[in-house]
Amino acid sequence: MRRLVNLHKMKRPIGKIIVNPDLCKDCKFCIEFCPNGVLEESKDVNFKGYHYPVIKPGKELDCVACRMCEKVCPDFAITVVSEEYITYDKYYGVSRHAHGG
């Protein structure tokens, strides 16, 4: 299997998803259209009685700040901020020596 030799240099963004639960009407578009499956429905409800999206446990680093959830939200309840970058070797837990680097 071929491996990228510069995993320690290649970076990708880490997105931070900010949800305003009070604006959400539980359409689930953000959950359905997220390419990395980062969001799920909350167990709690907002003051209108709707479930709102939350980040799935263990998926905190999977958001790549594509902003698809923000774009498809009809109620403008989601904002995505690209906070930092992570190298692929840290994301995948690969050491440089494991792949000959």
Mean of the per-residue pLDDT values of the chain: 87
End-to-end CA distance of the chain: 15
Domain ranges of the chain: 21-87
Kindly state the DSSP code that residue 18 receives in the 8-state scheme: E
pTM, 2 dp = 0.78
Structure confidence at residue 99 (pLDDT): 46
**Each residue's pLDDT tens digit, 35-47:** 999 999 999 999 9
Kindly state the tokens that stand for 60: 């905190």
Encode pLDDT of 71-95 as tens digits: 999 999 999 999 888 877 777 776 5
Q: Which CATH number fits domain 21-87: 3.30.70.20, 3.50.50.60, 3.40.50.620, 3.40.140.10?
A: 3.30.70.20
Task: Between 2 and 13, name the one with better pLDDT.
Answer: 13
* Helix, strand, coil fractions of the chain, as percent rounded to 5: 20, 30, 50
51-84 per-residue burial string, b: 16 or more CB within 10 A, e: under 16: bbbbeeeeeeebbbbbbbbbebbeeebbebeeee
